[in-house]
Amino acid sequence: DQQVKQNSPSLSVQEGRISILNCDYTNSMFDYFLWYKKYPAEGPTFLISISSIKDKNEDGRFTVFLNKSAKHLSLHIVPSQPGDSAVYFCAATGSSGTYKYIFGTGTRLKVLA
């Protein structure tokens, strides 16, 4: 039972345009969400997070949006750069176990120069 779903395994975007990566979750107890970025042969690195008390968090070119009623979050990258090409994972947890994150299967983003 996949509690965190990333339904798009891959996405291609032209350099300079917006990249939108989507993530859906099923557990209404989740209240903290993160995005990680992973390059080949490296471990994932933390990118941005959002608490359920917010519906938006912005950090430079990266913005995460949370729609609690739809149990949906998205990561926007504007403008996209070739160096953003990587696999992006979303992850979620409930406050009862802050270290036990449920990860999605990842979306491979390719930014075309």
Partner 1 sequence: GAGVSQSPSNKVTEKGKDVELRCDPISGHTALYWYRQSLGQGLEFLIYFQGNSAPDKSGLPSDRFSAERTGGSVSTLTIQRTQQEDSAVYLCASSPPGGQADTQYFGPGTRLTVL
Length of the chain: 113
Asked if 21 interacts with partner 1 (CB under 8 A), we say no
Tell me the residue ranges of DSSP E strands in 3-101.
4-5, 10-14, 19-25, 30-38, 45-51, 56-59, 62-67, 72-77, 86-94
Contact call for residues 109 and 87 (beta carbons, < 8 A): yes
Binding part of the chain for partner 1, among 12-20, 56-64, 70-78, 87-95 by CB under 8 A, reads 87-95
CB of 53 to partner 1, least distance (A): 16
Asked if 74 interacts with partner 1 (CB under 8 A), we say no
- Can you give the binding site for partner 1, defined by CB under 8 A? 2, 4, 6, 34, 41-46, 49, 89, 91, 93, 98-106
